[in-house]
Amino acid sequence: MGNIGKRRRLLKAALAAPIVSTVGAGKAVFAQPLPTLRVIGPWELSSLDPLRNGYLFSRMQVTETLVDYDAAGVPVAGLAAGWQMSPDGLQWRFALRPGARFHDGTPVTAGDVVAALGRARHAAGVLGAAPIAGIDAETGAVSIRLARPFAPLLALLSHSSTQVLAPASFGADGTVRAIIGSGPYRVTELAPPQHFAVEAFDGWHGARPAVTHAEYLSVGRAEMRALMAEAGQAHLAYGLDPGSIARLQRGRAVAVHAVTVPRTTLLKLNASHPLLADVRVRRALALALDRRGIASAILRDPSLAAGQLFPPALPGWRDPRLPALGYDPAAARGLLAEAGFQPDTDGLLRRGPDRLALMLRTFPDRPELPVIAAAIQEQWRQVGVAVRVAVGNSSDIPFGHRDGTLEVGLLARNFGVVPDAFGAVAQDFAGQGGDWGPMRWSSPVVTAALAALPSTPEGPRAEALRRQVADTLHDAMPLIPVVWYRQTLAASPRLAGVSIDPFERSYRLTQLQWKT
């Protein structure tokens, strides 16, 4: 009765709230009458900079990149109408779409694209992984010169960090002050960190979309997002908790869509921490996880238990020969004993004066993460590991990585951040590890394989290099996979043409139709 009463109170509050509300002083949210498409999700607009938070503008189809991708992972035209590669693979020429214009009416020039790609070569973006020798503006085209052949270039050029903005988007100091893109929608209202509104851009070269006005609103609580979708206060609701999904599927208020995406919920470990530097401890922590139990009880789907780091949605990287990670608490205790840990009077482990006690950080943007963290806390306690869970902001994990304070982080890593997973893998495993990859861990085998892959033609040799990466990670456990990921979406029955982008690049607004 307690949970039912809570849901009723939340639903009553959602229904009682006016559709016009405020975000900050004088900022209206959902202020336009229907047919304004209302999109809600957990992600805040924390920055206008494409290197840090530009994906929301890409998803709402405000901005464009040189290259786009279709649902099958095939590169298609974006701002580039087409491209050519030299026979030696060292030069690419991208012909820009004729007549492309920014939302302020100015033409998209080759110089604008060169400037955008130059910014994207920052360490915070994925383009820094490419061996670029130079980027040059030509008449109606952009030329990229490489130091060596690099097959994933097209995929990296589709990442949101490479989106092209008009010169008027930038202040005198070079910071992004406005979002003036060239996509089918233009920004009409901007109220960070929660809200922005868009309308169809009359200068778009394609057909005018049926959805002419749309708004995005960040809503922190997953249960509230589900209630808003049920009550008709949102047409598309992303980031739903498993309990709400099950309830929505039983009703008729919304249609629930789901697709498996190349994302893995995993534990990021500080491999230089005195308690975690020993690979036996990391393997023990992996063996102490009942993944199938977590997938069944929390995600309601036992098939999502992660037997290895790379999910089935990444067939080129997933190694089907690897033995699936299992649940063996007895073996976990044995490895911890080998590493010198013995149970104290309270059942928790010690090695000399040091308790095996860890802080696990996570965040609620993906609503299942805090619940999974609680399950991990209990499962590790059963083998003698004391865990304190801290639920904060998603930024706590990369900040903890950089300042060295992170011990364990629970996150959901999208290896399909670009359609070729090499982009994310190279970013995560460069040097001592990236913000969302391993921490203070490296392997010469992985480093060598990732260096060789971009210039290796697709075939048995490339497959063997990817297997070397997967197998080394499986053995060393710098990241512990927990469950694979299924993206879900609650959609209004008033909409036709709803689908989920498996690469999470777009909300596909231009494909939607209002039902009559």
In DSSP terms, 355 is beta-bridged to: 350
What is the pLDDT confidence band of residue 16, given thresholds at 50, 70 and 90? Answer: very low
**Topology (CATH) of 67-167:** Dipeptide-binding Protein; domain 1 (3.90.76)
- Tell me, what amino acid is at 449? A
The CATH T-level fold of domain 2-62+183-254+492-514 is: D-Maltodextrin-Binding Protein; domain 2 (3.40.190)
How many angstroms separate the first and last alpha carbons of the chain?
A: 39
Does pTM surpass 0.85?
no
- Residues with Cβ within 8 Å of 160's Cβ and at least 6 positions away in sequence, in order, are 50, 54, 55, 57, 58, 63, 65, 505
| Residue 19 pLDDT level (bands cut at 50, 70, 90) | very low
C-alpha span between 169 and 366 (Å, rounded) = 31
Instruction: Annotate 393-453 with three-state secondary structure.
Output: CCCHHHHHHHHCCCCEEEEEEECCCCCCCHHHHHHHHCCCCCCCCCECCCCHHHHHHHHHH
Q: Report the pLDDT value the prediction gives residue 455, as an integer from 0 to 100.
A: 87
Residue with tokens 């492309």: 100
Least confident among 66-80, 463-477, 486-500: 66-80
**Averaged pLDDT for residues 127-148:** 95
Residues 421, 418: Cα–Cα separation, whole Å: 6
Give the model confidence (pLDDT) of 226-285 as tens digits. Answer: 999 999 999 999 999 888 999 999 999 999 999 988 999 999 999 999 999 999 999 999
Task: Enter the tokens of residue 343.
Answer: 């149970």
CA distances from 141 to 82, 131, 164, 168, 371 (A): 10, 20, 14, 21, 50
| pLDDT at site 419 | 79
* Amino acid letter for position 171: G
Report the Cα 323 to chain-centroid distance in Å.
27
Q: Do the beta carbons of residue 329 and residue 349 sit within 8 Å? A: no
Alpha-carbon distance 286 to 332, whole Å? Answer: 8
CB 329 within 8 A of CB 383: yes
- For residue 260, give the amino acid letter: T
pLDDT at 1: 43
Q: Is 316 helix (H, G, I), strand (E, B) or coil?
A: coil
pLDDT (0 to 100) of residue 34: 54
Please provide the average confidence, as pLDDT, over all residues in the chain.
Answer: 91
pLDDT band at 166 (very low <50, low <70, confident <90, very high): very high
Tens-place pLDDT, residues 36-51: 999 999 999 988 999 8
CATH code of the region 262-486 = 3.10.105.10
pLDDT per residue as tens digits for the range 295-340: 999 999 999 999 999 998 888 899 999 999 999 999 999 999 999 9
For the chain, the structural domain boundaries read 2-62+183-254+492-514, 67-167, 262-486
What DSSP assignment string belongs to 182-193? Answer: -SSEEEEEEETT
Q: How confident is the model at residue 33 (pLDDT cuts 50, 70, 90)?
A: low
